[in-house]
Structure 1
Amino acid sequence: MARPGPRPARDHGRRSQPRPAPRPRGRRRRAPHVRERAVPALAHEGEVPSLARRRLSRLSRGVPARLRGPRLLRRALSRDDRRPCARPEAQARLRGRGEGSRLRGAEADEVGLVLGSTQDRHRGGLVSGIRLERTGALVTARFDKARGNAIDEPFTQELLQVAKELGADPGVRGVLLASAHPKLFSPGLDLVTLIEYDRAAMERFMRLFAQAVWALYALPKPVVAAINGHAVAGGCILALTADYRILRRGGVQVGLNEVKVGVPLPWSVALLLRASVPPTALTSVALLGRNFADDEAIAVGLADQLADADGFEDFGRARLEEFADKDTDSIAITKGYLRDAVLREMRARESEEMDAWLERWFSDGTRERIRQIVAGMGKGR
């Protein structure tokens, strides 16, 4: 006869719960829920900005699950992403509410809350300079970078990513391009950085810049450029991607001066210009490389309207609201019809025309002129 097994232990007449099975030894499995657990206290509306998401992915490689959590996420998020900053009118409401207070819901929509931003950093991470500020369904993409928003590779990467994200966000009905610098919208390419690039690096940058221009030009939302300061060369190119351009009255310059440096307009930019300004203005804008201000800028098609400095951005936002009030699908489809042919032509020959542009960029005469410009910038500091 088989021996009976041990009787189960009893506790006050009830069976005790069986002990859980011992945890298997070995490497702990990854914890995919770490972000969801940590994010709500750190990011607006419980979402991690995509740039921080990529940084978090890189930082977490090879890190045990027990060490991944809010501390690692704080390293991935920039300072402004961790604590969204309110616009000035929101800051007044926050005073007296205590440390760490935030506006939420309709109150946040009313005054506009910074969705996420990054700042120039001396070590590691992506150096960037675009702040996104949301007011209801309208988003202001504010350029806020060193050297007056000079365009370098990290800035261009972020510009491309921002364009893609805003285009895919169904809650965004319009975008305002603006600058945090009172006298500069953007002076163009960051010559101080790009003069050091070899041919392969420069080709990589120019292809990236072309993609950013395409993404902005194809954005299926109305885009208004509030040009509060000088927008020349690459800065003018960014403004030309908008559907409507408002220029601050009082001598703010806008133009394409590439020929003065000794380089031709990139292929995509030439097509963008041809689609934006009347044929009679192409010679003055593209071949003479002149800059224009006030009524002259409107006459050649580089600006659509002038506005005074007082209330300049509010004026631009009011104009954007006129576009945003229209049916979003109708706006997107019509804009696609108007710009599709230009975009297809841009993409078709960009690679073919890149070599000719690079030959001029790396010619001895052009390199010398760029070095002189960079040296002059150093003396002016």
Structure 2
Amino acid sequence: MIETADHDGIAVLTLNHGPVNALDLELLTAVPDTLAAVADARAVVLTGSGRSFSAGVDLKRIVDGGPPYVEKFLPALSLAMLGLFGHPKPVVAAVNGHALAGGCVLAAACDIRLMSHGTIGLAELAAGVPFPTVPLEIMRHAVGPVLDAMVLGAGRLSPHQAASIGLVHEIVEPDALFTAALRRADGLCAAPPDVYAFSKHQLHRPAREHIAAARPSEDPQVLELWSAGRTARILRDYLASLRGD
């Protein structure tokens, strides 16, 4: 589900979960567990197998599982994103293909994002579901004032468009992506680990404060909207449109 490899003390985590690395309960639960298992690594590189970094939430599982699944899924989504966002070591995303919706947030939770090809963006509103607090604040930290347009427009960006708004830090040819990500991760390790972790903590403080303030009131509404019968119907129609039915 998440393959791990060591490259000179840098932990390489590769999402290997179906053809597009869709985010479901099992994969999201594995994220914090895997990060804990590589806690001693100097840095982390996160990438995907196949043609996608991650195509986002497995919406079919949301529809099929209904409210009982959603009640487990949403907390797991937040915990996975927070675990990656708050990891004290350097974290580099090697975005090897499409990174959409939750996949985009997964990349945004990393300190540095390199991308080779595909599209990246937020499609939640197009699918008829709102943002939980944690993913929204991680995206706000990553892209700042352009977040409104990304969320409300629900569009896809090319690597060059993503780089122009700071969502992607470097565009790399596909065959050079892995090497470039390792080089970036190694470069971030030049700072003492405790200094890097504290600096990251300082930079993330506004996001963490917004999360702490908003979750008690917003996340119950998010759960209600994701669990609604209307949402299930919208998601079925959305999935049918993707299949061309």
User: Given the two structures, how large is their TM-score scaled by the length of structure 2?
Assistant: 0.93
- The answer to whether the aligner puts 1:238 opposite 2:238 as a matched pair is no
| Match for residue 211 of structure 1 among 66, 73, 79 | 79
Q: CA deviation at 1:271?
A: 1.1
Moved more, 297-306 or 219-228: 297-306
From the superposition, tell whether residues 198 and 368 of structure 1 become closer, same or farther in structure 2 (CA, over 3 Å): closer
Partner secondary structure for residue 140 of structure 2 = helix
User: Partner of 1:340 in structure 2?
Assistant: 205
Q: CA deviation at 1:288?
A: 0.8
| Match for residue 372 of structure 1 among 225, 228, 237 | 237
User: Partner of 1:283 in structure 2?
Assistant: 148
Separation of aligned partners in 1, 2:229 and 2:107: 30
| Match for residue 44 of structure 2 among 175, 186, 193 | 175
The question of whether the paired residues in 2 share the 8 Å contact of 1:278 and 1:300 is answered with: no
CA RMSD of aligned residues (A): 1.8
From the superposition, tell whether residues 337 and 272 of structure 1 become closer, same or farther in structure 2 (CA, over 3 Å): same
Q: Deviations over 1:50-71 (max 9, x none)?
A: xxxxxxxxxxxxxxxxxxxxxx
- The answer to whether the aligner puts 1:357 opposite 2:226 as a matched pair is no
The question of whether the paired residues in 1 share the 8 Å contact of 2:25 and 2:72 is answered with: no
From the superposition, tell whether residues 352 and 164 of structure 1 become closer, same or farther in structure 2 (CA, over 3 Å): farther
Larger Rg: 1
Partner secondary structure for residue 178 of structure 1 = strand
Map 1:241-256 → 2, pairs under 5 A: 241-249=109-117, 252-256=118-122
Q: CA deviation at 1:302?
A: 1.7
Q: CA deviation at 1:303?
A: 0.8
Q: CA deviation at 1:199?
A: 2.1
Separation of aligned partners in 1, 2:171 and 2:243: 33
The residue identity in structure 2 corresponding to 1:361 is W
Q: CA deviation at 1:178?
A: 0.7
The residue identity in structure 2 corresponding to 1:242 is C
- The answer to whether the aligner puts 1:187 opposite 2:55 as a matched pair is yes
Separation of aligned partners in 1, 2:99 and 2:60: 18
The question of whether the paired residues in 2 share the 8 Å contact of 1:214 and 1:343 is answered with: no
Partner secondary structure for residue 246 of structure 1 = strand
Number of residue-to-residue matches in the alignment: 245
- The answer to whether the aligner puts 1:301 opposite 2:169 as a matched pair is no
Separation of aligned partners in 1, 2:149 and 2:207: 22
Q: CA deviation at 1:376?
A: 4.9
Q: CA deviation at 1:368?
A: 1.7
Map 1:220-239 → 2, pairs under 5 A: 220-239=88-107
Map 1:1-381 → 2, pairs under 5 A: 129-167=1-39, 169=40, 172-181=41-50, 183-249=51-117, 252-279=118-145, 281-376=146-241
Q: CA deviation at 1:377?
A: 5.6
Q: CA deviation at 1:378?
A: 6.0
From the superposition, tell whether residues 198 and 294 of structure 1 become closer, same or farther in structure 2 (CA, over 3 Å): closer
User: Partner of 1:53 in structure 2?
Assistant: none
Q: Which runs of 5+ in 2 are unaligned?
A: none
From the superposition, tell whether residues 377 and 147 of structure 1 become closer, same or farther in structure 2 (CA, over 3 Å): farther
The question of whether the paired residues in 2 share the 8 Å contact of 1:262 and 1:360 is answered with: no
Q: CA deviation at 1:175?
A: 0.3
Q: Deviations over 1:266-302 (max 9, x none)?
A: 11112111111131x1232111111111221112222
Separation of aligned partners in 2, 1:352 and 1:166: 34
- Ranked by relative contact order (alpha carbons within 8 Å, sequence separation 6 or more), the top structure is 2
The residue identity in structure 1 corresponding to 2:59 is L
The residue identity in structure 2 corresponding to 1:219 is H
The question of whether the paired residues in 2 share the 8 Å contact of 1:164 and 1:215 is answered with: no
Give runs of ≥4 in structure 1 deviating > 3 Å: 362-365, 373-380
Partner secondary structure for residue 148 of structure 1 = coil
The residue identity in structure 2 corresponding to 1:145 is H
Partner secondary structure for residue 211 of structure 2 = helix
Separation of aligned partners in 1, 2:47 and 2:210: 28
